[in-house]
């Protein structure tokens, strides 16, 4: 024991105090004894928290029962041993009833040592029990805080009776049914949505079979009759005697379910309107071709028959009409191309990108030789792609690199880099470049940054490129510095790609 034992002795007779102190030392205690004889002195010394209290039964103006009462009111747990000259059964019973640890006759103080030892041991035991109870309460409070105050409802169910044996108190707040209703027979059948009643009963495949760990989603009706979607996670207990008990959690996923449903509806609407738009673009561009052919044919006829026969204005106007018709034919052709890329499913097949690239260059032969362009490339992989679409993609990008060239003959490089999940391609040129604010817009349909007088074109090429890359589940973007050149990058995921 650390330090001497602090013993408070309530005794009016000094020699009795000395005898008690002596008896303690003789019993081997390193005791620091303090005598008090009045109620006031006792109250003051109590504040110093003695280890043990020895008390005479009766003193002038105070007694052991009064001292015991004061000790209990202080809330301190200090062993209290009553010492007296005479013994009566009544006083013994009274003292023990009031909480004294022991009762000794003053002429039998040989028992004092063992009595103090036992009282100290009992007091230490009580302190330990109090500490364990406090620790247990702390754990319990933490568990309750964690489990019973969230929106996740813990529960336990007996598979024999199909009754809940425990439900977290939040169940009442979340679904509105009083907790005692949850424990009643038939609660599940009465409140599960008609289509989901089987969800619980499926937990046990056959009578006597033990429950399985399980996840399921079901609807329970709230007290107001609304259906609440719940995701249930079930853990079957493993001990043999309790195979009939399952425990789990229920989570309110009504909002999540509503969001999922509305997302699915949106996706459906979107794909329907997308399909409609694509069909519209395809039909419109297709059907416009016929009247346009008539317009072109008759304006050409007009030009042929009446050129030079009317006045100069008429010749000019016929020229404009012809040019407009040609331009429109061009636009419709591009629109048709764009809608074809959107409507036709890509036909994925193992494709040698080297061959596709060579074919694109062959198609660009005229502009290549006119511009004196030099096109270099990295070794290209074989991939599972739609070869005609990838050919068109390369042709559009290289064609643009030539069209938007600078003063000198263009140098163009096609690079291909393998990444963990995709191939990264880029077409780099040393042409006029693009201002950063147009990096996104240029991929939109009919988006151009120059007039047709400066550069011919219809603004559909990059929109087609984006469509092709997206249909291959890749990404396309541009990096550029005006006056320095542009780099058009795109990825083609490897998934489904065939290694060369």
Angle between helices 14-26 and 112-148 (to 10 degrees): 80
Q: What are the structure tokens assigned to 212, written together?
A: 């399985």
Q: In angstroms, what is the minimal distance from the CB of 371 to ligand ADP?
A: 13
Q: How many residues bind ligand ADP (CB under 6 A)?
A: 21
Please report, as residue ranges, which positions from 411 to 430 form the binding site for ligand ADP (by CB under 6 A): 429
Nearest to ligand ADP of 178, 444 (CB atom): 444
Nearest to ligand ADP of 83, 432 (CB atom): 432
- Segment interacting with ligand ADP (CB under 6 A) among 36-44, 96-104, 247-255, 448-456: 448-456
Interface pick for ligand ADP out of 486, 489, 490, 497 (rule CB under 6 A): 486
Interface pick for ligand ADP out of 219, 448, 466, 472 (rule CB under 6 A): 448
Q: In angstroms, what is the minimal distance from the CB of 474 to ligand ADP?
A: 18
- Segment interacting with ligand ADP (CB under 6 A) among 204-212, 265-273, 293-301, 440-448: 440-448
- Segment interacting with ligand ADP (CB under 6 A) among 230-238, 268-276, 277-285, 460-468: 460-468
- Segment interacting with ligand ADP (CB under 6 A) among 32-40, 89-97, 121-129, 452-460: 452-460
- Segment interacting with ligand ADP (CB under 6 A) among 129-137, 215-223, 264-272, 447-455: 447-455
**Binding characters for ligand ADP, 371-410, by CB under 6 A (x = yes):** -----------------------------xx--x------
Nearest to ligand ADP of 318, 397 (CB atom): 397
Interface pick for ligand ADP out of 457, 477, 493, 498 (rule CB under 6 A): 457
252 touches ligand ADP (CB under 6 A):
no
Nearest to ligand ADP of 164, 404 (CB atom): 404
Please report, as residue ranges, which positions from 91 to 120 form the binding site for ligand ADP (by CB under 6 A): none
Nearest to ligand ADP of 4, 482 (CB atom): 482
Nearest to ligand ADP of 116, 469 (CB atom): 469
Nearest to ligand ADP of 177, 448 (CB atom): 448
Q: In angstroms, what is the minimal distance from the CB of 493 to ligand ADP?
A: 24
Residue ranges that bind ligand ADP, judged by CB under 6 A: 400-401, 404, 429, 431-434, 442, 447-450, 457-463, 486
């Amino acid at each position: 024991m650390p330090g001497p034992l602090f013993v408070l002795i309530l005794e009016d007779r000094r020699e009795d105090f000395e005898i008690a102190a002596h008896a303690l030392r003789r019993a081997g205690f390193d005791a620091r004894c303090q005598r008090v004889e009045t109620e006031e002195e006792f109250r003051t010394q109590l504040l110093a928290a003695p280890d043990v209290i020895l008390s005479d039964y009766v003193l002038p103006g105070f007694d052991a029962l009064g001292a015991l009462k004061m000790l209990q009111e202080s809330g301190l747990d200090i062993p209290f041993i009553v010492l007296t000259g005479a013994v009566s059964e009544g006083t013994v019973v009274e003292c023990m009833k009031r909480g004294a640890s022991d009762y000794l006759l003053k002429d039998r103080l040989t028992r004092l040592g063992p009595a103090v030892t036992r009282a100290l041991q009992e007091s230490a035991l009580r302190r330990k029990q109090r500490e364990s109870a406090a620790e247990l309460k702390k754990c319990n409070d933490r568990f309750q805080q964690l489990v019973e105050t969230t929106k996740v409802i813990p529960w336990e169910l007996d598979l024999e009776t199909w009754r809940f044996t425990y439900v977290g108190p939040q169940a009442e707040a979340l679904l509105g049914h009083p907790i005692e209703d949850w424990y009643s027979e038939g609660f599940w059948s009465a409140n599960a949505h008609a289509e989901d009643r089987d969800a619980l009963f499926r937990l046990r495949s056959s009578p006597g079979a033990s429950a399985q760990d399980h996840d399921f989603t079901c609807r329970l009706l709230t007290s107001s009759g609304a259906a609440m979607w719940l995701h249930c996670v079930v853990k079957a207990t493993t001990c043999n005697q309790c195979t009939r008990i399952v425990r789990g959690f229920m989570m309110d996923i009504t909002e999540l379910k509503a969001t999922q449903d509305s997302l699915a509806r949106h996706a459906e609407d979107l794909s329907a309107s997308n399909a409609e738009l694509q069909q519209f673009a395809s039909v419109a561009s297709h059907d416009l071709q016929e009247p346009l052919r008539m317009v072109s044919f008759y304006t050409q006829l007009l030009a042929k028959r009446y050129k030079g026969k009317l006045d100069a204005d008429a010749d000019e106007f016929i020229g404009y009409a012809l040019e407009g018709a040609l331009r429109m034919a061009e636009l419709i052709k591009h629109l048709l191309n764009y809608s074809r890329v959107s409507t036709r499913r890509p036909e994925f097949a193992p494709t040698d990108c080297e061959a596709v690239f060579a074919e694109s260059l062959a198609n660009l032969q005229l502009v290549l030789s006119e511009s004196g362009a030099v096109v270099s490339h990295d070794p290209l992989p074989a991939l599972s792609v739609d070869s005609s679409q990838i050919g068109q993609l390369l042709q559009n990008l290289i064609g643009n690199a030539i069209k938007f060239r600078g003063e000198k003959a263009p140098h163009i490089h096609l690079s291909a880099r393998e990444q963990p999940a995709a191939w990264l391609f880029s077409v780099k040129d040393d042409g006029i470049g693009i201002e950063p604010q147009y990096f996104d817009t240029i991929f939109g349909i009919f988006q151009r940054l120059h007039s047709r007088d400066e550069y011919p074109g219809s603004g559909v090429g990059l929109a087609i490129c984006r469509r092709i890359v997206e249909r291959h589940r890749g990404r396309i973007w541009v990096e550029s510095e005006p006056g320095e050149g542009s780099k058009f990058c795109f990825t083609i995921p490897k998934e489904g790609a065939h290694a060369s």
